[in-house]
Amino acid sequence: MNFSYQMTALYTILVKEVLRFTRIWVQTILPPAITMALYFVIFGKLIGSAIDSSATDGYSYIDYIVPGLIMMSVITNSYSNVVSSFYSAKYQGHLQELLVSPTPNMIIILGFIGGGVIRGLMVGAIVTVVSMFFTDLNIAHPVITLLTVFLTAVLFATAGLINGVYAKSFDDISIVPVFVLTPLTYLGGVFYSIKLLSDFWQTVSLANPILYMVNGFRYGFLGVSDINIYACFAVILIFWGILFSIAYFLLDRGIGIRT
């Protein structure tokens, strides 16, 4: 398969993935926006008004948590889109048709990941617009902001593909988001600065990769971060490299797919 055909195959998979979640936008796009709006009201306005700005590097509490909430929506949606789509493709049998076609495994992986990234970024953009009704957004470093959110969406879309490979039922696609992803996200500095923690828990928090993504994104917005920005990008790239290698290996060997 030459390059032109490969790009046509990638474009086709991407279009299919985008149409898949946009056709049911009431289930895929609208709920995250409503959920984040509730976070802005409850945590940002009601609870946040009672929190001293000294605990949030001099920023109001709602300004401090907005980047984390946007990132949380991107992480959740990029992951969930790929895991559900990949498992559905496997369950319905058309993934096997892709595998026996001349389409390279790399193109298949990039197609599914691309769909997850587009949904994650789309939801993130909508949540950003919603946040403007609650606070004024001033982006300190636009390039860092865009690069961080894009790389994070790619990372978790790749993780969702791995979950989709191993999933044997629809129940399996919710295990990792519920028992792993959600706790790591809530403990990843979305709602607080790790400077408020004791030395021991600060050290423990550094083992949470989402902490680096949230802080990298917050640095892009506000110019403040609990983590060195270079360390944030290093962690994201290292984790993505590991996960992508695993995803390619699994698809190449047919693990969880071929019987």
pLDDT tens digits for range 3-37: 888 999 999 999 999 999 999 999 899 998 899 98
Q: What is the model's pLDDT at position 218?
A: 96
- In this predicted model, what pLDDT tens digit does every residue of 77-108 receive, in sequence order? 999 999 999 999 988 888 888 888 888 999 99
CA angle 11, 237, 159 (to 5 degrees): 60
Q: What is the model's pLDDT at position 120?
A: 96
Flag the least confident range among 99-103, 113-117, 130-134, 181-185: 99-103
Please state the domain count of the chain.
1
Q: Are 106 and 248 in contact (CB under 8 A)?
A: yes
- Whether 56 shows a pLDDT value over 90: the answer reads no
SS3 assignment for the chain: CCHHHHHHHHHHHHHHHHHHHHCCHHHHCHHHHHHHHHHHHHHHHHHHHHCCHHHHCCCCHHHHHHHHHHHHHHHHHHHHHHHHHHHHHHHHCHHHHHHHCCCCHHHHHHHHHHHHHHHHHHHHHHHHHHHCCCCCCCCCCHHHHHHHHHHHHHHHHHHHHHHHHHCCCHHHHHHHHHHHHHHHHHCCCCCCCHHHCCHHHHHHHCCCHHHHHHHHHHHHHHCCCCCCHHHHHHHHHHHHHHHHHHHHHHHHHCCCCCC
- pLDDT band of residue 69 (cuts 50, 70, 90) is very high
- In this predicted model, what pLDDT tens digit does every residue of 192-217 receive, in sequence order? 999 889 999 999 999 999 999 999 99
Q: Are 96 and 89 in contact (CB under 8 A)?
A: no
Q: What is the model's pLDDT at position 174?
A: 86
Flag the least confident range among 171-180, 206-215, 250-259: 250-259
CA angle 181, 140, 185 (to 5 degrees): 10
Q: What is the model's pLDDT at position 91?
A: 86
Core vs surface per residue 52-83: b (16+ CB within 10 A) or e: eeeebbebebbbbbbbbbbbbbbbbbbbbbbb
Q: Quick check: is 216 in a domain?
A: yes
Q: Quick check: is 258 in a domain?
A: no
Q: What is the model's pLDDT at position 258?
A: 62
Global pTM exceeds 0.85: yes
Q: Quick check: is 259 in a domain?
A: no
What would the two tokens of residue 206 be? Answer: 């550094």
- What residues make up the domain containing 8? 3-253
| Average predicted confidence (pLDDT) for the chain | 91
